[in-house]
Each structure stands twice: as structure tokens, then as C-alpha cells.
Amino acid sequence: MPSWSIRSVYERTSFHRDVIEEVSDPELRSAYEHCRNITRRYAKTFYLATRFLPYHKQRSIFAIYGLCRFLDNLVDEAEDLIAANPVKRQETEETLTDWKGKLQKTYEGGGGDNPILVAFSDVLRRHDIDIALPFDLIDGVGMDLSKNRYETFEELYDYSYKVASVVGLMISEIFGYNDRAALRHAVDLGIAMQLTNILRDVGEDLERGRIYLPEEDLNRFGVTEEDLFSHRMTDSFRELMRFQIDRARSYYDSADKGIPMLSPDSQIPVRLARHNYARILDQIETNKYQVFTRRAYLSFTQKMSILPRVWWHTVRH
């Protein structure tokens, strides 16, 4: 059994300063602190998992997540204003294009004055991250400005790859791996997590006029958009949700094959994040597929309860 208790892990998570304070350069230290705060605020499950990484890997992941969250928030905030001011869509698209230019300069060696880019620039000095990945991310979050329906799973997969899998590919360069096949499974983990997000957030997305569930699947199970907006808990909807959950779990199963290919010091956090995210699907089932008015989530204690099994599985393999 692991030598730490739930309380000791909580304390390590709460008083998490050394990871930043060991950075000697004041500007870089401030930049990483900014990214750490973003991660801690918006990605509690993910932030918890990073606590089991070496400090230099934690900081790099904070920078990558900070970039991803900033771009995502940029679009989310614009969405709230577009209905009243259609010009806001064009302005946001131009801002995203501008960020591609900023990233290009960062890859060429300039960090800029944005703290996220300062931290990300430091990551690029240490790790080989293809510029196509953050560019794909920008294209993916930009899709939410003009697209709120998906006809096929193929379309949804493309979106999920851009907003989630590319994040996993960037982070994989931080984790390290001994077989490039790990990258294929990292893609599948990103797809699995994004599908989990979509199923968890069905109700919230409907409030924003969004339906991520593919139209072909709605038709297959006889569920209409009116059913969704009216929050009808029909047998057809439950069957649709079972199908979507099974699909997400198949991607988690594939992702499992890639975890042993990662550097040993990165396997526990990846398994912890993977299992806690997948357990959201279990919670949806426990809630009897009520995703219109209930948001499936795990408490801190529930998240930590999986740690002994994750640790044991990792040391055995």
C-alpha cells in the first residue's frame, strides 16, 4: 500500500509552493504562478493529478493548460456577447488569428509580455512540441463561434481531437515516453475525456443552444432536439446515453494501453486523471442519466479513494 494518506495528499495539494518558488528568474516564476492558478481554478481533477509529477513537469503542464484555458475562455466569453453584438464573432476570430501570430513568434524565440507565453516559451526551450498542435487547438476552440450542431460522430471526433487530444499530445512530450505508439493512445484519452465532458454537460450546453450529441445518433435512437430542450427523460434518451457512454469507455480502454509506455514518474498522475474522469460516466449512470438538471461530479474524497488502486496497478506494471 502507498505510504501516504488521503490527508497527507490533501496537505501536499493545499500547500503547493515549492514547485514555483524554486524558479530563480522573477518574471518566469510569476508567469508559472499565473498558469498554476489557472490550472488550480479551472481543472481541479487535473490539478490534483499533477501533484504526483516532478516539479519541472508540473510547471510545464501548468503552462500548457494555462494556454488552453485562456483560448477556451476567450471563445466562451465571446459566445455570451455574440447574440447581442454579431460583430463580436469576427473580433474574436481575429483575436484567435492574432494569437497564432503570437505563438509563431514564441516558437521563433520570443516570449512576449503575456505571462502564459512567457511560461510556454520556457517549456519550448525544454521540450519539442510541434507548432501544429497549438494551432489545431485554436482552430478547435474557434469552431464554437460558428458551429453548435454536429451531424456525424466523425465531425465530433474532429472537434474533440482539436480541443482535447492535441492537449494530450503536447502534455505527452512533458511526460516522456518510450514508444511513439503512446501518442496514438494519448489521442484516444483526449477523445474519451472530451466525450465525458459532453455527456456531463448536456444540460448546460442546451442552455447555450448547443447540442454536441451527433445528429446521426439522435436519429438512430429516435431522440429529437425538442426532446432535449424539453428535458424529456424517455427510454430512447436513456438508450442514447448508454450508447454514448459505451463509446467513451472504448476510448478509455484504448488509452490504458498507452500509459505503461510513459515515463514511470508520469504514470500515476495519468492513471489518476483517467480513472477519475471515467468515473464521471459511472456517476451519470448512478444519476439514471439525468444530465439535464444534474451535473455529475466527484467529491475530493471520491477522487482520492481511487489512489491506492492506481498506485498498486502502477507499481505492479
Q: What is the C-alpha to C-alpha distance for residues 77 and 79, in angstroms, rounded to an integer?
A: 5
Last residue of a domain, one of 104, 121, 144: 144
- pLDDT at residue 245 tops 50: yes
pLDDT at 313: 66
The domain boundary residue, chosen from 110, 127, 144:
144
Residue 281 has pLDDT above 80, yes or no: yes
- Burial annotation 255-270 (CB, 10 A radius, 16+ → b, else e): bbebbbbbbeebbbbb
The answer to whether residues 6 and 128 belong to one domain is: yes
The yes-or-no verdict on residue 7 having pLDDT over 70 is no
Q: What is the CATH number of the domain that holds 225?
A: 1.10.600.10
Band of the pLDDT at 315, cuts 50, 70, 90? low
Q: Residue 115: is its pLDDT beyond 50?
A: yes
- Cell reading at 243: 450508447
Q: Are 152 and 264 in a shared domain?
A: yes
Give the cell for residue 119: 511560461
Instruction: Note whether 301 and 162 are same-domain residues.
Output: yes
Cα separations in angstroms, 103 against 88, 115, 130, 131, 152: 22, 13, 11, 8, 32
Least confident stretch, 27-41, 73-87, 176-190, 237-251:
73-87
Regarding whether 310 and 170 lie in a shared domain, the answer is yes
The pTM assigned to this predicted structure is: 0.90
Task: In whole angstroms, give the CA distance from residue 208 to residue 210.
Answer: 5
Q: What range does the domain containing 69 cover? A: 1-144
Check whether residue 300 and residue 274 sit in a common domain: yes
| DSSP bridge partners of 262 | 177
C-alpha 198: how far from chain center: 11
Could you give phi then psi for residue 262, rounded to 5 degrees? Answer: -80, 165
Q: Does 158 share its domain with 210?
A: yes
Q: Are residues 112 and 198 in the same domain?
A: no
Summary mean pLDDT of the chain = 90
pLDDT category at 112 given cuts 50, 70, 90 is confident
Residue 317 pLDDT = 62
End-to-end CA distance of the chain: 15
Question: Into how many domains does the chain fold?
Answer: 2
What is the structure's pLDDT at 16?
59
Decide which of 81 and 56 is more confident: 56
> pLDDT-based confidence at 113, cuts 50/70/90?
confident
- In this predicted structure, what is the pLDDT of residue 270? 93
The more confidently predicted of residues 80 and 277 is 277
299 vs 149: CA distance, rounded Å: 32
Cell of 7: 490527508
The residue among 113, 144, 175 that closes a domain is 144
Q: Residue 87 above 90 pLDDT? A: no
64 or 314: whose pLDDT is higher? 64
pLDDT, residue 316, reads: 64
**Cell numbers that stand for 153 in this block:** 460522430
Q: Is the dihedral of CA 217, 220, 226, 228 positive or negative?
A: negative
SS3 sequence of the chain:
CCCCCHHHHHHHHHCCCHHHHCCCCHHHHHHHHHHHHHHHHHCHHHHHHHCCCCHHHHHHHHHHHHHHHHHHHHHHHHHHHHCCCCHHHHHHHHHHHHHHHHHHHHHCCCCCCCHHHHHHHHHHHHCCCCCHHHHHHHHHHHHCCCCCCCCCHHHHHHHHHHHHHHHHHHHHHHHCECCCHHHHHHHHHHHHHHHHHHHHCHHHHHHCCCCCCCHHHHHHHCCCHHHHHCCCCCHHHHHHHHHHHHHHHHHHHHHHHHHHHECHHHHHHHHHHHHHHHHHHHHHHHCCCCCCCCCCCCCHHHHHHCHHHHHHHHHHC
